[in-house]
Amino acid sequence: MDAVVKFTSQSQGRDRIFRATQYACILSIHLLRNNPDRKDLVARLKSLESSVSAGRKLLRLGNAANSIVAAKQTVRLSDRVLCLCLTAANVSRALYFICDNAVWARGVGLVRSIDKERWSVNASRCYLFSLVMNLTQDLYVILQLMLQKRKDNRFRSKMDQHLNECPDVAEVAIPELDALVFLLLETLRSEPTVALDTVKNVCDLFIPLDRLGIYKSSAGVVGFCGLVSSLIGILTLARPSLRIKH
């Protein structure tokens, strides 16, 4: 119970619970949309999704400042690739929150002189660029880990044993490709923090791609990906040891 209280007392914890609820509603609405006996439930889910979405926008009002502070920290990283990717991601995320806050202000009537649709599109563009930078960072970290693991004599022995035990694979696939896939899977299995962060960013990627019309997905795909990403976010916040560190 103490862990639950501690989690929900954090603004990030509340936002991630709201986010999981929002995308669970989107997924449920998509699955129930053609069921005539569930029309009332679908209407209630739509109302809940709308309320949760509005609540999340309110909770995110101060997140732009947090992202700017994070950018100031990542700009000091000694690794230039990580410095570039993470700083660009944090700056883009700050711009996303600024645009999102402007959309919220226009929606509640605090500001009437802005184009809500244009600011919403700009928010999605900033969000997409932030995710691309985060994924680039994930791929870079994975490559670094793969190179380190390849130099490990114990791993090399394990990989050789795997290739020798799978002669059927060698007949239908390039042995070097099989070794590369084995190395990748072993790396992700031994580094769950990187694996979780990569899966989370890939799932999130479908959301702005769909909103911008770059890659249209069904509401079910968007809801499922958003829910998976939200659950991973809840898990990594509840267990900091699973959060990727630099």
Mark out the alpha helices in the chain (DSSP H runs): 2-8, 11-32, 39-59, 63-74, 80-107, 116-150, 153-165, 167-172, 175-190, 192-211, 219-238
| pLDDT tens, position by position, 9-28 | 567 778 899 999 999 999 99
| Residue 56: predicted pLDDT | 86
Task: Count up the domains in the chain and report the number.
Answer: 1
| Residue 12: predicted pLDDT | 78
User: Regarding predicted confidence, which is higher, 195 or 58?
Assistant: 195
| pLDDT tens, position by position, 115-127 | 888 999 999 999 9
| Residue 7: predicted pLDDT | 55
| pLDDT tens, position by position, 35-53 | 888 899 999 999 999 999 8
String of DSSP letters for 133-156 = HHHHHHHHHHHHHHHHHHT-HHHH
Arithmetic mean of pLDDT over the chain: 86
String of DSSP letters for 44-86 = HHHHHHHHHHHHHHHHGGGHHHHHHHHHHHHTT-SSHHHHHHH
Confidence of residue 160 (pLDDT cuts 50, 70, 90): low
Kindly report the pTM of this predicted structure.
0.87
Lowest mean pLDDT among 32-36, 113-117, 155-159: 155-159
Q: What distance in Å separates the CA atoms of residue 129 and residue 127, rounded to the nearest whole number?
A: 6
User: Regarding predicted confidence, which is higher, 62 or 209?
Assistant: 209
Domain ranges, residue 6: 2-242
239, pLDDT greater than 50: yes
Q: What distance in Å separates the CA atoms of residue 220 and residue 208, rounded to the nearest whole number?
A: 15
